[in-house]
Amino acid sequence: MPRKVARPWPPGAAQVLTCAREGGRGSSHARASQEVADFTSVTMSSIIKERLELQMAELEMLFSMFPDKGEITLQDENNFLNAQKYLNNTSENLPHIIEYSVAVTIDEPKARINLQVALPHDYPQVPPHLFARSSAVDRQQQLQLNKDLASYIASLEPGELCVCAAVQWLRDNSISYLENSKLHCENVPRESAVKTLFSRMWIYSHHIYRQELRKKIFDCAKKLNLTGFCLTGKPGIICVEGVKENCEEFWHVIRYPNWKHISCKHVENRETDGNGDNLRLFQTFEDLQFQAHGDYGLRNDYHMDLGQFLEFLKGHQSEHVFQILFGIEGKCSDN
C-alpha cells in the first residue's frame, strides 16, 4: 500500500521565514507579508498534491485488483483527468473530489455489493465517504452493514489509506448480512413478498445552477430508474419517484459531500403490486426550465416563474405540493 512521503519545503522557504521574522518598515512590511502568504499558499498546494497523489495511487491499486470492465466505475472521468493535470502542473485549478464505485463480488452466497466512494481533498488525513448497497440485502441489513463498516474505518490508524481495507472488510464480513437478509425474506408471507413500496420525494434547494451538479442529479436518477424532474434556477426543485429504496439512495447521494441549503420537503409513499410503474406521474426525468422574472443579463442569479411551475404541477396532478414547497397557496393564471 502506498505510503506518504514527506516533501521538502519549496525553494526559498527559509529566506521567506527569515524576512518575516526580521520585519521592516513601509514596503518591506508589505513585501514580507506577501512572501509569507505566497509561502503558505505553496505549502498548502504541496500538501493537497501529496494527498491527491496518494488517492490516485490507491485508485491505481484498485484498478489492478479489479481489472474487469464494470468492476470500478468513475463517477465523472473528467474529474480523474483534471486531477492528473493538477498533479502534472498543467492546471492550477483544484480538481473536484474523486468519486467512484467498486463492485465487490461475494462468492457464497452469490451476491454483489456496490461500494460507493467519495474522497475529500484531505483524504487520507480525514476518512472517505463510503456507502455500500446491494439488491441482495434488505434495508435493515444494509443500514447495519454501513454502520459496522463505518465503525471499522474509524478503528483504523488515522491518516492511512483505507478504501482497499474497506473492500477487503466487505469480502470478509458480508456473508452474515446476506444470510440474515435471506432468512428475513423467507419469513415474510408470500402475499406481502410481492408488494412494492412506491415513493415520490419532493426536494427544495435555494438554487440549482452548476452544470456538474445537474449532471450528477440526472446521472443518479437514470441509474436508479427514477422519473420526475429537476427545476433549474432559483429556487431549485427536484422531484423523484420510483421504488422507495432507490429514492432514498438518490437523496443520500446528491446531498454528499457538501450540498448545503437543501431539504426534503415532502414524501409520498404507497404500497402497490409489481414495480409501481402505474403510479408514476412522470414518464421520464425532465430538465425543467421556465422563463425567469426580469432581465438579469448574464448574471447567474435568476428567479424561476413560479406561476408557470404551478401550471406544470397542475398538469401532473401535483398542485397540492406548491403550498408544501413554498408555504403559500398557488393560484393558476386564467388563460
> How does DSSP assign 284-331, residue by residue?
SEEEE--PBSS--TT-S--BB-HHHHHHHHHHTT-TTHHHHHHSS---
Global pTM value = 0.47
Q: Which residue has the higher pLDDT, 16 or 53?
A: 53
Query: CA-to-CA distance for 163 and 2, rounded, in angstroms?
Result: 12
Mean per-residue pLDDT, 68-87: 87
* Length reported for the chain: 335
Q: Please name the amino acid found at residue 107.
A: D
Task: Give the cell for residue 329.
Answer: 397557496
Within a 13 Å sphere around the CA of 260, how many CA atoms are in the beta-carbon half?
Answer: 0
Q: Give the whole-angstrom CA distance, residue 200 versus residue 56.
A: 38
Lowest average pLDDT, out of 38-42, 227-231, 256-260, goes to: 38-42
pLDDT confidence tier of residue 283, bands split at 50, 70 and 90 = very high
Residue with more model confidence, 41 or 162: 162
Out of 199-203, 209-213, 214-218, 294-298, pick the least confident.
294-298
* 39 vs 205 pLDDT, higher one: 205
For range 278-298, the mean pLDDT = 76
Residue 279: pLDDT over 80: yes
pLDDT value for 154 = 93
Report the C-alpha dihedral over residues 306, 312, 317, 319, rounded to 10 degrees: 10
pLDDT of 37: 46
Please tell me the distance from the alpha carbon of residue 204 to that of residue 302, in angstroms, as a whole number. Answer: 16
**Would the CA dihedral through 157, 72, 94, 230 be positive or negative?**
negative
Give the per-residue pLDDT at 3: 47
Alpha-carbon distance 316 to 335, whole Å? 18
Q: Of 132-136, 230-234, 241-245, 305-309, which gets the smallest average pLDDT?
A: 305-309
Q: Sort strands 285-288 and 236-243 into parallel, antiparallel or unpaired.
A: unpaired
pLDDT surpasses 70 at 181: yes
**E strand segments, the chain:** 72-74, 98-106, 111-119, 129-133, 195-205, 227-231, 236-243, 262-273, 285-288
Do strands 236-243 and 195-205 pair parallel, antiparallel, or not at all (unpaired)? Answer: antiparallel
Residue 33: band (very low, low, confident or very high) from pLDDT cuts 50, 70, 90: low
* Cβ atoms within 10 Å, residue 9: 13
Q: Would you give the DSSP letter of residue 202?
A: E
Nearest-CA neighbor of 86 among 100, 74, 97?
A: 97
Q: What is the DSSP letter of 96?
A: P
pLDDT for position 104: 92
Mean pLDDT over each residue of the chain, to the nearest integer:
80
Give CA–CA dist 300/80, Å, rounded: 27
Of 181 and 288, which is predicted with more confidence? 288
Is the pLDDT reported for residue 191 higher than 70? Answer: no
Neighbouring residues of 8: CB distance < 8 A, sequence distance ≥ 6: none
Would you state the pLDDT for residue 123?
A: 92
Task: Give the model's pLDDT for residue 280.
Answer: 94
Q: pLDDT (tens digit, 9 = 90+) per residue, 106-153?
A: 887 788 899 999 999 899 999 999 999 988 888 888 899 999 999 999
What Å distances lie between residue 287 and 67, 214, 297, 303, CA to CA? 36, 9, 22, 16
Sign, Cα dihedral of 78, 80, 81, 82 = positive
**DSSP states along 207-247:** -B--HHHHHHHHHHHHHTT-EEEEE-BBSEEEEEEEEHHHH
Cβ atoms of residues 85 and 96 within 8 Å: no
